[in-house]
Amino acid sequence: MTQTVAQSAEEISDGAPQVQRDGAMRQSRQGPSFLMALPAVLFFGIFALIPLLGVLVLSFMSWDGLGSPEFIGLDNWVRMFERDQTMSSLWLTFVFVVICFVFQAPVALLLGVFMAGAQRYRALLSVLFFLPLLFSSVAVGITFQQLFSPNYGISSALPFDWLPSQWLGNPDIALYVVVFVVGWCFVPFHSLLYQAGVRQIPVSLYEAATIDGAGRVRQFFSITLPQLRYTAITSSTLMLVGSLTYFDLVFVLTQGGPGSATRILPLDMYISGFRNYDMGGASVLAVILVAVGLTLSLLLNKISGSSKMESDKAGM
């Protein structure tokens, strides 16, 4: 405070440098100049925002992926909504997102809490639990494709007759197999988030609860779970939006098959655009995907209030 006063006094006494000083003063009130953000804004604008608008524009155009796009009005929209596959892909995507969440969230939470324990063997298990994160989706997809293959997989390895010989080839269970593989890939990351969350809970809470005679289950529901709410919001957001747009694993595992049993929206979009060369129709599906994704994020955002600027927010 004293320094600021001294500085401004100096400014008044000086003549010429005043303008420059004044600039510096304004800067200290306003913070860094926009130039700091410019590179990020350029990258983000050109390769993320413009494509986001571009996909809307392309949905009104006819384009085979090679020539130049032509404007055709609402034709794509009408065509895509009259197509049965669009609705069934949408429904399948919804089912996929829900099952993914129902499977992954409890497993990740329980594993995270378990991993946070102090026992030696838990630390060892945590090291091994991390391993799936080291494999790319393609690697995981290829692995499980072999593991579930009717010719050379677990069905031929284990002497249980009741094991189905077709896993990914069976339209009734293919989707659940895919969900399991998605969980195999992503549960480790989410359980790490929960583990970190549990470790920040003050031990005194548990000590007090123990003195009060609360058992483990009671402690889990009355202390651990409420204390983890911000972690849960972060993890759930990443999980829900992630599985909505999930592409890589499903592409490698089933290519949307058998039939269209696992043809979720992102996959349907890829097949329409890059296999059937209907970029306009694929763009319609993409716009739907964006709309659903944004709605979902905004809803979750409302619940968590994570876009607030306060630094004490523990949300993501």
Q: Which stretch binds other proteins (CB under 8 A): 31-39, 74-82, 97-105, 253-261?
A: 31-39
SS3 198: helix
Cα separation of 301 and 86, whole Å?
A: 28
Does residue 171 bind other proteins (CB under 8 A)?
no
Q: Which stretch binds other proteins (CB under 8 A): 81-89, 94-102, 166-174, 264-272?
A: 264-272
- Tell me the CA distances in angstroms from 17 to 10, 30, 31, 41, 194, one per residue in order: 10, 20, 21, 33, 55
Whose tokens are 């209907």? That residue is 278
Does residue 33 bind other proteins (CB under 8 A)?
yes
Q: Is 256 left (phi over 0), alpha (psi -120 to 50) or beta?
A: left
Does residue 307 bind other proteins (CB under 8 A)?
yes
Query: Of 5, 29, 82, 259, which lies in the binding site for other proteins, with binding defined by CB under 8 A?
Result: 29
Sign of torsion over alpha carbons 242, 245, 251, 256 = positive
Is residue 279 within 8 A of residue 65, CB to CB? The reply is yes
Does residue 16 bind other proteins (CB under 8 A)?
no
Does residue 266 bind other proteins (CB under 8 A)?
yes
CA-atom Rg of the chain in angstroms: 27
Site for other proteins in 194-253 (CB under 8 A): 195-203, 206-207, 210, 216, 231, 234, 241, 244-245, 247-248, 251-252
Does residue 256 bind other proteins (CB under 8 A)?
no
- Give the residues across from 148 on adjacent strands: none
Q: Which stretch binds other proteins (CB under 8 A): 51-59, 81-89, 90-98, 161-169?
A: 51-59
Does residue 193 bind other proteins (CB under 8 A)?
yes
Residue 157 burial by Cβ neighbours in a 10 Å radius (0-12, 13-18, 19+): exposed
Query: Of 167, 269, 271, 304, which lies in the binding site for other proteins, with binding defined by CB under 8 A?
Result: 269
**Residue with Cβ nearer other proteins (167 or 270):** 270
> In whole angstroms, how close is the CB of 288 to other proteins at the nearest point?
9
Site for other proteins in 94-153 (CB under 8 A): 107, 110-111, 113-119, 122, 125-140, 142-144, 146-147, 151-153
Q: Which stretch binds other proteins (CB under 8 A): 11-19, 71-79, 91-99, 186-194?
A: 186-194
If binding means CB under 8 A, how many residues of this protein chain bind other proteins?
123
Q: Which H/E stretch holds residue 101?
A: helix 84-115
> In whole angstroms, how close is the CB of 25 to other proteins at the nearest point?
9
Does residue 2 bind other proteins (CB under 8 A)?
no
Kindly give the pairing relationship between strand 70-71 and strand 61-62: antiparallel
- CA nearest to 281, candidates 35, 80, 50: 80
